[in-house]
Amino acid sequence: MKQFIVLMGVLPIMLVFLFQYALDQKNNDRINRFQEYVYQAKEQAKQEGCFTPKIKSELTDKIEGTFGIQEEEMILVLEQVPQYRTAEFDERELIYYKVAVPIEKIMAGNRFFGISDEDNRGMYTIESWTASELLRD
């Protein structure tokens, strides 16, 4: 009987580890897709010299579809002024971008450990520069 009582006490704690593994897999899949979407948009922006409205809308549509969020919940800072490639490296040819999406649930069983839902959230951010490949006419 003692073993059964101990099992009932330990089982919920052990189940949290199982649920955390499943949640990590889900979050990793979403983050990988997000990284892929931003990479594709960055490569298109390199060719165009900036993030055009078309590239921005395609990126937001993909993110909204995958994450089930609205554009207002994202952080999008995209260079929209065309940058041109020069003969020698110059910082003026760099295209800046920052894209962030909310991750709603980071830890499984957060209330069990005394972590509030507000503290169990975060933003996954990709922020970088890329060199433009657009040549002046």
Q: Which residue has the higher pLDDT, 55 or 2?
A: 55
Distance CA 104, CA 36 (A): 20
Tell me the mean pLDDT in the region 18-46: 94
The answer to whether residue 6 scores a pLDDT higher than 80 is: no
- How much is the pLDDT for 75? 94
Percentage of the chain modeled with pLDDT above 70? 99
Across the chain, what does the average pLDDT equal? 90
Distance CA 75, CA 97 (A): 10
Those residues with Cβ within 8 angstroms of residue 80's Cβ, 6 or more apart along the chain or in another chain: 50, 51, 52, 53, 56
44-100 pLDDT, tens digit each: 999 999 999 999 999 999 999 988 899 899 999 999 988 888 877 777 789 999 999
The answer to whether residue 13 scores a pLDDT higher than 90 is: no
4-18, 34-48, 92-106: which has the minimum mean pLDDT? 4-18
The residue type at 95: I
Asked if 40 contacts 50 with a C-beta cutoff of 8 angstroms, the reply is no
Task: Parse the chain into domains and list their residue ranges.
Answer: 2-131
Q: Which residue has the higher pLDDT, 61 or 4?
A: 61
102 backbone dihedrals φ, ψ, rounded to 5°: -80, 140
